Protein backbone atom coordinates (compact mmCIF):
# COMPACT_ATOMS: atom_id res chain seq x y z
CA UNK A 1 0.00 0.00 0.00
CA UNK A 2 2.83 2.44 0.87
CA UNK A 3 4.32 1.96 -2.60
CA UNK A 4 0.98 2.74 -4.24
CA UNK A 5 0.91 6.12 -2.51
CA UNK A 6 4.27 7.05 -4.01
CA UNK A 7 3.63 5.43 -7.40
CA UNK A 8 -0.06 4.68 -8.11
CA UNK A 9 0.41 4.21 -11.86
CA UNK A 10 2.37 0.99 -11.38
CA UNK A 11 -0.50 -0.51 -9.41
CA UNK A 12 -3.07 0.55 -11.97
CA UNK A 13 -1.01 -1.15 -14.67
CA UNK A 14 -0.42 -4.33 -12.64
CA UNK A 15 -3.77 -4.77 -10.94
CA UNK A 16 -6.22 -3.26 -13.44
CA UNK A 17 -4.61 -3.58 -16.86
CA UNK A 18 -2.76 -6.76 -15.87
CA UNK A 19 -5.91 -8.46 -14.61
CA UNK A 20 -7.78 -7.41 -17.76
CA UNK A 21 -5.11 -9.05 -19.92
CA UNK A 22 -5.17 -12.25 -17.84
CA UNK A 23 -8.95 -12.45 -18.02
CA UNK A 24 -9.01 -11.99 -21.77
CA UNK A 25 -6.32 -14.63 -22.36
CA UNK A 26 -8.15 -17.00 -20.01
CA UNK A 27 -11.44 -16.39 -21.83
CA UNK A 28 -9.87 -17.17 -25.21
CA UNK A 29 -8.28 -20.33 -23.82
CA UNK A 30 -11.50 -21.41 -22.06
CA UNK A 31 -13.57 -20.90 -25.22
CA UNK A 32 -11.50 -23.53 -27.03
CA UNK A 33 -11.86 -26.20 -24.33
CA UNK A 34 -14.24 -29.12 -24.52
CA UNK A 35 -17.38 -28.96 -22.38
CA UNK A 36 -15.87 -31.31 -19.80
CA UNK A 37 -12.67 -29.27 -19.61
CA UNK A 38 -14.65 -26.04 -19.30
CA UNK A 39 -16.49 -27.49 -16.31
CA UNK A 40 -13.17 -28.20 -14.55
CA UNK A 41 -11.56 -24.84 -15.40
CA UNK A 42 -11.29 -22.09 -12.78
CA UNK A 43 -9.88 -18.56 -12.88
CA UNK A 44 -8.91 -17.78 -9.28
CA UNK A 45 -8.43 -14.12 -8.38
CA UNK A 46 -6.71 -13.34 -5.06
CA UNK A 47 -7.73 -9.95 -3.68
CA UNK A 48 -7.65 -8.07 -0.38
CA UNK A 49 -9.88 -6.86 2.43
CA UNK A 50 -8.73 -3.30 1.67
CA UNK A 51 -11.34 -3.03 -1.10
CA UNK A 52 -14.03 -2.66 1.60
CA UNK A 53 -12.52 0.47 3.13
CA UNK A 54 -12.24 1.15 6.85
CA UNK A 55 -14.31 -0.01 9.84
CA UNK A 56 -15.20 1.82 13.03
CA UNK A 57 -14.27 0.19 16.36
CA UNK A 58 -17.74 -1.32 16.85
CA UNK A 59 -18.61 -2.10 13.23
CA UNK A 60 -19.22 -5.75 12.25
CA UNK A 61 -16.47 -7.38 10.18
CA UNK A 62 -16.46 -7.25 6.39
CA UNK A 63 -18.56 -9.90 4.67
CA UNK A 64 -18.79 -10.81 1.00
CA UNK A 65 -21.75 -8.43 0.66
CA UNK A 66 -20.01 -5.40 2.23
CA UNK A 67 -20.01 -2.39 -0.11
CA UNK A 68 -16.74 -1.47 -1.74
CA UNK A 69 -15.12 1.74 -0.44
CA UNK A 70 -11.37 1.66 -1.27
CA UNK A 71 -9.35 4.46 0.30
CA UNK A 72 -5.91 4.10 -1.32
CA UNK A 73 -4.68 3.76 -4.92
CA UNK A 74 -3.70 0.16 -4.15
CA UNK A 75 -7.14 -0.70 -2.75
CA UNK A 76 -8.87 1.06 -5.64
CA UNK A 77 -6.81 -0.87 -8.20
CA UNK A 78 -7.67 -4.17 -6.49
CA UNK A 79 -11.36 -3.19 -6.35
CA UNK A 80 -11.30 -2.47 -10.08
CA UNK A 81 -9.73 -5.89 -10.68
CA UNK A 82 -12.44 -7.55 -8.57
CA UNK A 83 -15.12 -5.88 -10.69
CA UNK A 84 -13.47 -7.01 -13.92
CA UNK A 85 -13.40 -10.59 -12.66
CA UNK A 86 -17.07 -10.41 -11.76
CA UNK A 87 -17.90 -8.90 -15.17
CA UNK A 88 -16.10 -11.66 -17.07
CA UNK A 89 -18.09 -14.27 -15.20
CA UNK A 90 -21.45 -12.63 -15.78
CA UNK A 91 -20.78 -11.51 -19.37
CA UNK A 92 -18.86 -14.47 -20.79
CA UNK A 93 -19.58 -17.26 -18.32
CA UNK A 94 -15.89 -17.59 -17.42
CA UNK A 95 -15.81 -19.68 -14.21
CA UNK A 96 -14.10 -17.20 -11.89
CA UNK A 97 -13.64 -17.37 -8.12
CA UNK A 98 -12.44 -14.44 -5.99
CA UNK A 99 -10.89 -14.44 -2.53
CA UNK A 100 -10.46 -11.38 -0.31
CA UNK A 101 -7.96 -12.00 2.47
CA UNK A 102 -6.76 -10.13 5.52
CA UNK A 103 -3.14 -9.20 6.38
CA UNK A 104 -0.77 -12.08 5.72
CA UNK A 105 2.38 -12.78 7.74
CA UNK A 106 4.93 -15.57 7.83
CA UNK A 107 8.16 -16.73 6.16
CA UNK A 108 9.47 -15.20 2.92
CA UNK A 109 7.53 -11.95 3.30
CA UNK A 110 9.36 -9.00 1.78
CA UNK A 111 10.87 -6.99 4.65
CA UNK A 112 9.11 -3.71 3.89
CA UNK A 113 6.01 -5.23 5.54
CA UNK A 114 5.31 -4.53 9.22
CA UNK A 115 6.35 -7.78 10.91
CA UNK A 116 9.58 -8.57 9.01
CA UNK A 117 10.56 -4.89 9.01
CA UNK A 118 10.27 -4.75 12.79
CA UNK A 119 12.14 -8.03 13.27
CA UNK A 120 15.07 -6.92 11.12
CA UNK A 121 15.21 -3.41 12.57
CA UNK A 122 15.21 -4.84 16.09
CA UNK A 123 18.03 -7.24 15.29
CA UNK A 124 20.02 -4.42 13.68
CA UNK A 125 19.44 -2.13 16.67
CA UNK A 126 17.59 0.55 14.70
CA UNK A 127 14.29 2.28 15.57
CA UNK A 128 10.99 0.46 15.12
CA UNK A 129 8.87 3.04 13.21
CA UNK A 130 5.19 2.95 14.18
CA UNK A 131 2.70 4.92 12.09
CA UNK A 132 0.48 7.38 13.98
CA UNK A 133 -0.60 6.20 17.41
CA UNK A 134 -0.17 2.49 16.62
CA UNK A 135 -3.88 1.80 17.13
CA UNK A 136 -4.74 0.83 13.55
CA UNK A 137 -6.31 -2.63 13.67
CA UNK A 138 -5.73 -5.50 11.25
CA UNK A 139 -6.87 -9.11 11.13
CA UNK A 140 -3.74 -11.26 10.84
CA UNK A 141 -3.68 -14.44 8.73
CA UNK A 142 -0.75 -16.86 8.77
CA UNK A 143 0.45 -17.49 5.23
CA UNK A 144 0.13 -21.28 5.53
CA UNK A 145 -3.55 -20.93 6.42
CA UNK A 146 -4.05 -18.61 3.45
CA UNK A 147 -2.42 -21.14 1.11
CA UNK A 148 -4.75 -23.86 2.38
CA UNK A 149 -7.74 -21.62 1.83
CA UNK A 150 -6.72 -20.83 -1.74
CA UNK A 151 -6.39 -24.54 -2.53
CA UNK A 152 -9.81 -25.25 -1.03
CA UNK A 153 -11.47 -22.44 -2.97
CA UNK A 154 -9.78 -23.48 -6.18
CA UNK A 155 -10.93 -27.07 -5.76
CA UNK A 156 -14.43 -26.55 -4.36
CA UNK A 157 -15.45 -22.88 -4.68
CA UNK A 158 -18.57 -22.10 -6.69
CA UNK A 159 -17.97 -20.20 -9.95
CA UNK A 160 -18.90 -16.53 -9.70
CA UNK A 161 -18.60 -16.50 -5.92
CA UNK A 162 -16.39 -14.52 -3.55
CA UNK A 163 -14.92 -15.96 -0.34
CA UNK A 164 -13.47 -13.83 2.46
CA UNK A 165 -10.45 -15.36 4.21
CA UNK A 166 -9.51 -14.14 7.70
CA UNK A 167 -7.36 -15.23 10.61
CA UNK A 168 -9.74 -14.38 13.48
CA UNK A 169 -6.84 -12.41 14.95
CA UNK A 170 -7.60 -8.69 15.21
CA UNK A 171 -4.66 -6.80 16.70
CA UNK A 172 -3.54 -3.19 16.79
CA UNK A 173 -0.19 -2.53 15.15
CA UNK A 174 1.20 -1.64 18.56
CA UNK A 175 0.00 -4.97 19.99
CA UNK A 176 1.65 -6.82 17.11
CA UNK A 177 5.00 -5.10 17.54
CA UNK A 178 4.89 -5.41 21.34
CA UNK A 179 4.26 -9.16 21.05
CA UNK A 180 7.04 -9.46 18.50
CA UNK A 181 9.43 -7.65 20.83
CA UNK A 182 8.53 -10.04 23.65
CA UNK A 183 9.55 -13.00 21.49
CA UNK A 184 12.80 -11.28 20.53
CA UNK A 185 13.52 -10.43 24.17
CA UNK A 186 13.42 -14.17 24.80
CA UNK A 187 15.24 -15.58 21.77
CA UNK A 188 17.52 -12.66 20.75
CA UNK A 189 17.90 -10.37 23.81
CA UNK A 190 19.66 -7.04 23.53
CA UNK A 191 23.18 -6.82 24.87
CA UNK A 192 22.29 -3.94 27.19
CA UNK A 193 19.47 -5.91 28.84
CA UNK A 194 16.76 -3.47 27.74
CA UNK A 195 13.62 -4.64 25.97
CA UNK A 196 13.36 -4.28 22.21
CA UNK A 197 10.14 -2.36 22.97
CA UNK A 198 12.18 0.68 23.96
CA UNK A 199 13.07 1.21 20.29
CA UNK A 200 9.43 1.65 19.19
CA UNK A 201 9.27 5.13 17.64
CA UNK A 202 6.00 6.78 16.63
CA UNK A 203 6.22 8.55 13.27
CA UNK A 204 3.79 10.63 11.21
CA UNK A 205 0.94 8.53 9.86
CA UNK A 206 0.79 7.65 6.18
CA UNK A 207 -1.91 9.23 3.96
CA UNK A 208 -5.20 7.34 3.75
CA UNK A 209 -4.29 4.92 6.54
CA UNK A 210 -7.47 2.89 7.21
CA UNK A 211 -8.24 2.55 10.90
CA UNK A 212 -9.55 -1.00 11.09
CA UNK A 213 -10.03 -4.10 8.96
CA UNK A 214 -11.80 -7.25 10.11
CA UNK A 215 -13.02 -10.29 8.18
CA UNK A 216 -16.15 -12.40 8.60
CA UNK A 217 -14.98 -15.76 7.24
CA UNK A 218 -18.20 -17.66 8.03
CA UNK A 219 -18.99 -18.28 4.34
CA UNK A 220 -15.79 -20.19 3.58
CA UNK A 221 -16.09 -22.02 6.89
CA UNK A 222 -19.69 -23.07 6.29
CA UNK A 223 -19.49 -23.86 2.57
CA UNK A 224 -15.95 -25.22 2.24
CA UNK A 225 -15.08 -26.34 5.79
CA UNK A 226 -12.02 -24.09 6.03
CA UNK A 227 -10.85 -22.31 9.16
CA UNK A 228 -7.46 -20.98 10.29
CA UNK A 229 -5.41 -23.46 12.29
CA UNK A 230 -2.55 -21.19 13.37
CA UNK A 231 -3.01 -19.00 16.42
CA UNK A 232 -1.45 -15.57 16.12
CA UNK A 233 0.96 -16.14 19.02
CA UNK A 234 2.33 -19.41 17.63
CA UNK A 235 2.43 -18.07 14.07
CA UNK A 236 4.28 -14.95 15.17
CA UNK A 237 6.89 -17.01 17.03
CA UNK A 238 7.41 -19.21 13.96
CA UNK A 239 7.82 -16.10 11.85
CA UNK A 240 10.36 -14.45 14.16
CA UNK A 241 12.43 -17.64 14.35
CA UNK A 242 12.33 -18.07 10.57
CA UNK A 243 13.78 -14.62 9.93
CA UNK A 244 16.46 -15.13 12.57
CA UNK A 245 17.43 -18.48 11.03
CA UNK A 246 17.40 -17.29 7.41
CA UNK A 247 19.70 -14.28 7.42
CA UNK A 248 21.18 -15.25 4.04
CA UNK A 249 17.74 -14.97 2.39
CA UNK A 250 17.18 -11.62 4.07
CA UNK A 251 20.51 -10.26 2.83
CA UNK A 252 19.64 -11.46 -0.66
CA UNK A 253 16.46 -9.37 -0.85
CA UNK A 254 17.86 -6.28 0.87
CA UNK A 255 19.14 -4.83 -2.39
CA UNK A 256 19.91 -1.23 -3.18
CA UNK A 257 16.31 -0.80 -4.36
CA UNK A 258 15.03 -2.03 -0.99
CA UNK A 259 17.32 0.33 0.91
CA UNK A 260 16.22 3.24 -1.27
CA UNK A 261 12.58 2.40 -0.52
CA UNK A 262 13.16 2.31 3.26
CA UNK A 263 14.97 5.64 3.10
CA UNK A 264 12.21 7.20 1.00
CA UNK A 265 9.38 5.94 3.20
CA UNK A 266 10.80 6.13 6.75
CA UNK A 267 14.02 8.08 7.02
CA UNK A 268 13.31 11.68 7.86
CA UNK A 269 9.60 11.07 8.45
CA UNK A 270 8.42 13.49 11.10
CA UNK A 271 8.17 11.95 14.56
CA UNK A 272 4.64 12.05 15.95
CA UNK A 273 4.19 14.21 19.04
What is the rounded CA–CA span in Å between residue 258 and residue 112? 8
Q: Mind telling me the catalytic residues?
A: 49-50, 74
What is the rounded CA–CA span in Å between residue 54 and residue 56? 7
Amino acid sequence: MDRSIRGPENFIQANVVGTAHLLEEARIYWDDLSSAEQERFRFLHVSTDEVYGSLGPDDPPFSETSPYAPNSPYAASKAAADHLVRAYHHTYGLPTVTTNCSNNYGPYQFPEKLIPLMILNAVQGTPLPMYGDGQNVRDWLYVGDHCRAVRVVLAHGRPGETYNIGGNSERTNLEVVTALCAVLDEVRPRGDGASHRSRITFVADRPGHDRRYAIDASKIRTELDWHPTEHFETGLRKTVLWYLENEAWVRGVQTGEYRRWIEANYVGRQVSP
